[in-house]
Amino acid sequence: MDILYENLLDFQWQNIVMILIGCLLIYLAIGKDMEPSLLLPMGFGTILVNIPGSTALTGPIQELYYAGIANELFPLLLFIGIGAMIDFGPLLSNPKLMLFGAAAQFGIFFTLCMARMFFPEIDAASIAIIGAADGPTSIAVANTLGSKYVGAITVAAYSYMALVPIIQPPVIKALTTKKERLIRMPYEQKSVSKLTRILFPIIITVVASAVVPDATALIGFLMFGNLIRECGVLNSLSDTAQNVLANLVTIFLGITVAFNMTGAQFLKLDTLLILGLGLIAFIVDTAGGVLFAKFLNLFMKKKINPMIGAAGISAFPMSGRIVHKMGLKEDPQNFLLMHSIGVNVSGQIASVIAGGIILNFFAG
């Protein structure tokens, strides 16, 4: 009988805390509907790897980690699904929206400077990419750079993506006036030809990869997914990429990330600092997009509602919807959805390119 209870004596306080964190992630997924497809497997995986003597840690989860995350396979496959979900029509109808996607990446480089005060440059660069508001990019960059904080970075990136509805509205309100939030932006429907939609992912891939070679895999897989969507001859494959592939990879990604979430690795002061820096990155990203829109309004006769600048982060489509809902709350007749979604998809492209820039500077 003693043998049956022997394993219970191996529990450390770190294991118990991490199991409670795993339960919290499951609660957020089920009770609060926050990124359930990712947080639920991540939470359950955290429980599995924190049971002393767990064969999951040295068996299937370890194998999945080295087969899918250490070599960046899972994040890249997920990009195909994300690309297949994105409609670049609103952006192609109004290309200047791309500027807001670029402005909203300021948090990455701001956080890099702050993180460098506490961490070596490789880890600081990996932490900064949390500001991309893009989980797959965060994982890919952190793994490529060989950061020892992959688990904390992944949790921070995805947790804050799930908390975008809580983080962004206060920042937007603090930086805008009532008058600015009431600015109407009528959407002018412009026809985007099928040829343009097909050429766009190809051109973006070639140009972005030529400028930032280290972004080739990230931008290439994202744009390949979009090309599947827009080509018109692979509808069943596009549906598979958007649903079956994206959901399956997300499950594997979530449960495999838990490999880095053992109590001994995760419960450190460094982890709390990373979570704090990640929050700063999201706030500065949001502020950067809003302030850039306000700056443009100084020179434009046709004013821009500065709230759409906040949608430039890569949390697609959550951020775009948040801005739209805030606009409706201020004025039930103010429909900002198409503008904010256009900015949001530009942020997806900009975040991947920013990840490539980080790799360009620090890889190797």
Upper half-sphere CA count for residue 184 (Cβ side, 13 Å): 8
Residue 66: phi, psi to the nearest 5? -75, -25
Residue 70: phi, psi to the nearest 5?
-60, -30
User: Could you give the CA distance from residue 127 to residue 120 in angstroms, rounded to a whole number?
Assistant: 11
Mean pLDDT, rounded, for 276-283:
89
Separation of alpha carbons 80 and 71, rounded Å:
16
CB-CB contact of 304 with 183 (8 Å): yes
d(CA 45, CA 64): 12
Q: Which of 80-89, 129-138, 197-206 has the lowest mean pLDDT?
A: 129-138
- Quote the pTM value: 0.82
Q: How far apart are CA 197 and CA 89, in angstroms?
A: 8
Dihedral sign, Cα of residue 108, residue 111, residue 117, residue 122: negative
pLDDT score at 159: 72
Q: What is the mean pLDDT of residues 352-359?
A: 87
Kindly state the average pLDDT of the residues 129-135.
79
Would you state the torsion angle of the CA atoms of residues 148, 149, 154, 155, taken in this order, to the nearest 10 degrees?
140
Closest CA to 141 of 162, 123, 161: 123
3-state secondary structure of 9: helix
Instruction: Quote the pLDDT of residue 345.
Output: 87
pLDDT in tens, 23-40: 998 998 898 877 788 788
For the chain, what's the residue count?
364
- Rounded to an integer, what distance in angstroms lies between the CA atom of residue 179 and that of residue 173? 11
Nearest one of 38, 22, 24, 48 to 74, comparing CA atoms: 38
So where are the chain's domains? 2-362
The pLDDT tens digits of the residues spanning 187-235 come to 776 788 899 999 999 999 999 888 888 888 889 999 999 999 999 888 9
Res 5 pLDDT > 70: no
Our CA dihedral for 163, 166, 168, 169, rounded to 10 degrees, sits at: 160
Q: Mean pLDDT for the chain?
A: 86
